Structure 1
Amino acid sequence: MSPEHRPPHVPTSREVPILEGDGSALNAEQRTRALTELTSGEPLDLLVVGGGVTGAGIALDAASRGLRTGIVEMGDWASGTSSWSSKLVHGGLRYLYQLDFPLVHEALTERGRLLTTTAPHLVKPQPFLWPLKHHYERVYSAVGVGLYDALAVAGARGRCTVPLQKHLGRRGTQELAPALDTSQLVGAIRFHDARVDDARLVIDLVRSAVGLGAFAASRTQVTKYLTDGAGTVTGARVVDRETGREHDIRATRTINATGVWTEQTQNLAAHEGGLKVLASKGIHIVVPKEAIDAKTGIFLRTEKSVLFIIPWPRYWVIGTTDTPWQHNVSKPVATSADIDYILEHANAALSRPLTRDDIIGTYAGLRPLLQPQLKPGSDTASTKISREHTVTRVAPGLTAIAGGKLTTYRVMAQDAVDHALGDELATTRPSRTTTLPLVGANGYRELAGHAEELASTRGWPLTRVTHLLDRYGSETPALLAAADEHDASLAVGSRELAWGQPLTGAPDFLRAEVAWAVTHEGATHLDDVLLRRVRLDIERRDRGLSASDEILAIMAPLLGWDAADIDRERQAYAGRVAQIAAAEAEADDAAAVSHMSIAI
């Protein structure tokens, strides 16, 4: 029986519920168990290579179908493109002007699903102002935004998941965004999209997959694909990057979802055909909330694309650029020229220009822009091109997917698993992710309704409770219970060790959030916490380095670190901070990347 038609593992129940709490926790013990199952258990129905939003979505999709699923990632979860995006969940308003209605409709449908069902604790409606310089702009812009709204309502089966457009004159525009220079404006249109912490979304996807029985191992790199005598891929050889040990993982089907690393990883199995991926760099700057006086985000059209000024509770994210990247894909970094470009285009719309002194953070990421690369005379039926993402068979038993965007990760995942299973099995084992909530989503709205009560009980400001709910959703009580249990065990006078207290160096975060990152979110190194859990890297001028000793003191006992381990972690992160600072002083990519010995 060929791998494409071999029946998958059958679970005890076809109705697989989402599991929250310890059953979905990512930590050192879970990783050890997962590696044992991956390498010595029965063969997997599906192995996913790549732990960004696409790979994580595929793992959840497969696990929800009852498939015996494994996922490996060579770095930390979301450590590539998926943690350096614009952090938007959106339909892509600019695609309307390219008349790509199916793409926009699909993305807006997924936006509505994320807002209402999948991750309402993580994905939040976000209003934007579209400034208008001429009266005639209002007509065509209103038609475009009106169609945008109509497609969103259609995708949500008649429901409005975000408010509809509103037209404003110059005075209304200035009231909502005093920071805008309205002297040359006739008004604006307010429309809505949504924002999300991209890295946290990925982590919750992986945790949800684990809750459904998937085996997940970060810092586990594929070094070759295993094949049988007929050349069919039957799994992968991996190296545990924490120990250096090699392992073989057997799988009936494998999906390569490695983004800008696609060609490198697929070429381990085949040097012809497959997908050709071009990397495009996008950078963002971060400025403090007080730097821009506005109650809404701002959407600006540029000569090349668009620029978003996006509000978060403590800061603004401004971006992005779109330039070819021809260097090491593990080391994208912002240059001085990139930063100047963002400042120039933002300042063209602002009454008080931003300067470099306003910038508290920068980050850079790479988009995978793909082109099909088929073998001459190959069977094009084995390749499925769906709007902006492509799924193809690289070799028997090995599927590759690339392209797309964060908003449509679920559709991409469904397409990839369907393709790997083949039409017959995909029909009998359909995707179940359309109504599947992630960890933290079930019960979130009810809990959020009691936010003021929770704040009052603990003597906290409401902003602190809202911060926790918007990060952990319905798991917030479990996080607080873990903090209370830990603190109750402390000796009298050990307040400096209490998890229920804010970080001294970053009081917007509780110490418990650092502990939770280790015990439930798979953080195994200092940069995992600072870059992707407690994300001080993008909101502090020193990238969180001044808070590192306090964070290390929380992590060390949980991970069994000694003084040498702590010093090694501190020095590694300090080196990263220094290298990025040096790179950002350079004018071009080649000079900037020469400073980077540490992968981003």
Structure 2
Amino acid sequence: MSRSSALSPQARSASLAAMRGIEGQGELDVLVVGGGVVGAGTALDAVTRGLNTGLLEQRDLASGTSSRSSKLVHGGLRYLEMLDFGLVREALQERGLLLTRLAPHLVRPVPFLYPLTHRGWERPYVGAGLALYDGMAMAGRYGSGLPRHRHLSRRAVQRLAPDFNPASLAGAIQYYDCQVDDARLVLSLARTAAAHGAHVATRVEVTGFLREGERVVGVRARDLETQEDFEVRARVVVNAAGVWTDEIQELVGGRGALHVQASKGIHLVVPRDRIRSEAGFIVRTEKSVLFVIPWGRHWIIGTTDTPWSLDKAHPAASKADIDYILEHVNAILREPLDHEDVEGVYAGLRPLLSGESEPTSRISREHTVVTPVPGLVMIAGGKLTTYRVMGRDAVDAAAHSLTSTLGGFTVRASITDRVPLVGAADWETRQNQRVLLARRSGLHVARIDHLLGRYGGLVDDLLDLVESRRVLGVPLEGAEDYLAAEVVYAVTHEGARHLDDVLTRRTRISIETFDRGVSAAPGVAALMAAELGWDPTRTADEVDHYLRRVEAERRSQRMLTDQEADEARVQVSDIV
């Protein structure tokens, strides 16, 4: 079944009706709970195997961990040092697959420098590790698709990265990994699943499970937009709730073998001109590693790795977190950064499978799938890069349950390694046509490049929108990197229902502007209001909520402890 990939308001209503059985479709084969990268990947895996599939997300797609990562698609050098060769090999294979086949429009190579600070032993030690890293990637089924590492002298590093403090360097090794806008990856997964027939609905809370004896046969849910309660029946429910895994587990009486520990990681965003370098870099700290990652006209710097037991929906970055990152990055820079250089700050929670008494930075990122009760599959752990493997393993477990309960029912093997995401088709062609597209649309070629990097082959949708409504071809006031058309498209095709969805996840205005999107908010809200039918009161409420959220985040970032930061941030909850 192939249909539009658009996650429009109408598509949401149709998906909810289908999942409730109103359209006479009966129960689902698989219902996925959680709209992060693992949930969206699981839904795509299930629907492309021929299973009637639904996905429910309590907030917005990628509203949790999956929009707050380091935005890297990588094998994980530190796991190589921990001798976790299986995880590194798997992640490198998935990196190659995403770069070359599944999402070449979203995933792009990024060069990194690994600074060397000791003469003698360090260069051969690090060089051997990176040679193994490259070798494992090239030996994979999809190859590396990236240049091999190379050794640099101290003088070569100074040419490539003149803002490195030469006193701290004995040279460097340059290597390549990949990066992706994590929220757009999740959105693309959900849209691809929808295009193949999956029913996707956000702003729906799962409040309980339906049971027949011991077996889970569906969920009770509440539409948070209308406060209406309803039931969704499904042969198998897959819980992909990430750091909320334990809470979902409690809904079935606490029976289960998964215990997830939340680890907070924060990132800073600073303007690109604050650090002169043609490559990102990675720095070892006493607790973990610190990445300085090129991000368009910005740098992303992170991350921390500390236990978190407070509010999971809105983890808060404290002043101590920010100071920690600034201290460690300044140790290798000529000109230190300070708080005034920081454009944006974001905090996310990694869902780590609990170890005995290990610190969070040492807990493995491998994932686990369990079936605590019949009809319920739970998956946790893992990392962004290996989302597809996690989704495959979750559906394999669901398939086992389906086969055992439905005589003669056969679930086909996963094919997601051969299913490109929306936007991948025609992307290379449109890349080659970038100058022609600029000429035809009247947009600068740099605008076309920006759209291609966000939408890939779907750039035609945006250009058609601009052609039909020329007023949408102008930059957003207060966030000139983005066009007005992108806001309208976020509502009509990308499932955005609130101002926060657009400013924080469909775009990155909330972390890419010094005012955190405050000046852009009224204009963006007005564009959304015209598409969603908001009246002036509702539009003003959306803007007011966003401004209060920004102020709560700023206040939390001035607090010294996690407890104080959390208390400041939770003063403003999600808008309903």
TM-score by length of 1: 0.91
Are the equivalent residues in 1 in contact too, given 2:36–2:62 (CA < 8 A)?
A: yes
Are the equivalent residues in 1 in contact too, given 2:256–2:370 (CA < 8 A)?
A: no
Question: Letter of the aligned partner of 1:402 in structure 2?
Answer: A
Is 1:24–2:8 an aligned residue pair? no
Q: Which residue of 2 aligns with 1:198?
A: 182
Q: Which residue of 2 aligns with 1:4?
A: none
Partner SS for 1:295: coil
Q: Which residue of 2 aligns with 1:580?
A: 553
Measured in 2, the distance between the counterparts of 1:209 and 1:458 equals 30
Are the equivalent residues in 1 in contact too, given 2:441–2:463 (CA < 8 A)?
A: no
Measured in 1, the distance between the counterparts of 2:402 and 2:215 equals 20
Structure 1 regions of 5+ residues with no counterpart?
A: 1-15, 374-385, 488-497
Q: Deviations over 1:110-134 (max 9, x none)?
A: 0001101111111110100001112
Is 1:287–2:265 an aligned residue pair? no
Q: 2:335 aligns with which of 348, 352, 361?
A: 352
Matches within 5 A, 1:422-571: 422=400, 425=403, 428-487=411-470, 498-571=471-544
Q: Which residue of 2 aligns with 1:142?
A: 127
Are the equivalent residues in 1 in contact too, given 2:374–2:401 (CA < 8 A)?
A: no
TM-score by length of 2: 0.94
Instruction: Detail structure 1 runs of 4+ shifted over 6 Å in the superposition.
Output: none
Are the equivalent residues in 2 in contact too, given 1:266–1:274 (CA < 8 A)?
A: no
Measured in 1, the distance between the counterparts of 2:117 and 2:495 equals 48
Q: Deviations over 1:417-454 (max 9, x none)?
A: 00111189597510010111000001111211111222
Q: Which residue of 2 aligns with 1:124?
A: 108
Question: Letter of the aligned partner of 1:345 in structure 2?
Answer: H
Segment of structure 1 superposing worse, 422-431 or 128-137: 422-431
Q: Which residue of 1 aligns with 2:380?
A: 402
Measured in 2, the distance between the counterparts of 1:387 and 1:283 equals 18
Are the equivalent residues in 2 in contact too, given 1:276–1:372 (CA < 8 A)?
A: no
Partner SS for 2:309: coil
In the TM superposition, what is the alpha-carbon distance from 1:505 to its structure 2 partner?
1.9
Measured in 2, the distance between the counterparts of 1:96 and 1:193 equals 14
Is 1:323–2:306 an aligned residue pair? yes
Measured in 1, the distance between the counterparts of 2:402 and 2:92 equals 29
Q: 2:14 aligns with which of 33, 57, 60?
A: 33
Q: Deviations over 1:37-83 (max 9, x none)?
A: 00023100000000000000000000110100000000000001101
Are the equivalent residues in 1 in contact too, given 2:249–2:255 (CA < 8 A)?
A: no
Are the equivalent residues in 2 in contact too, given 1:275–1:372 (CA < 8 A)?
A: no
Question: Letter of the aligned partner of 2:252 in structure 1?
Answer: A
Measured in 2, the distance between the counterparts of 1:525 and 1:388 equals 34
Are the equivalent residues in 1 in contact too, given 2:351–2:381 (CA < 8 A)?
A: yes
In the TM superposition, what is the alpha-carbon distance from 1:107 to its structure 2 partner?
0.1
Q: Which residue of 1 aligns with 2:567?
A: 594
In the TM superposition, what is the alpha-carbon distance from 1:371 to its structure 2 partner?
3.3
Q: 1:208 aligns with which of 169, 192, 196?
A: 192
Question: Letter of the aligned partner of 1:36 in structure 2?
Answer: A
In the TM superposition, what is the alpha-carbon distance from 1:501 to its structure 2 partner?
1.3
Partner SS for 2:166: coil
Question: Letter of the aligned partner of 1:281 in structure 2?
Answer: K
In the TM superposition, what is the alpha-carbon distance from 1:486 to its structure 2 partner?
2.6
Matches within 5 A, 1:115-194: 115-135=99-119, 136-157=121-142, 159-194=143-178
Q: Which residue of 1 aligns with 2:234?
A: 251
Q: Which residue of 2 aligns with 1:64?
A: 48
Partner SS for 1:368: strand
In the TM superposition, what is the alpha-carbon distance from 1:552 to its structure 2 partner?
1.2
Are the equivalent residues in 2 in contact too, given 1:49–1:256 (CA < 8 A)?
A: yes
Measured in 2, the distance between the counterparts of 1:323 and 1:161 equals 34
Measured in 1, the distance between the counterparts of 2:306 and 2:561 equals 11
Question: Letter of the aligned partner of 1:431 in structure 2?
Answer: S
Is 1:236–2:209 an aligned residue pair? no
Partner SS for 2:473: coil
Question: Letter of the aligned partner of 1:522 in structure 2?
Answer: G
Are the equivalent residues in 1 in contact too, given 2:168–2:332 (CA < 8 A)?
A: no
Measured in 2, the distance between the counterparts of 1:213 and 1:428 equals 17
Q: Which residue of 2 aligns with 1:305?
A: 288
Matched residues, percent identical? 51
Measured in 2, the distance between the counterparts of 1:93 and 1:507 equals 36
Matched residue count? 557
Distance 1:53 1:562, change over 3 A: same
Question: Letter of the aligned partner of 1:79 in structure 2?
Answer: S
Q: Deviations over 1:476-518 (max 9, x none)?
A: 012110221133xxxxxxxxxx111111221111100000000
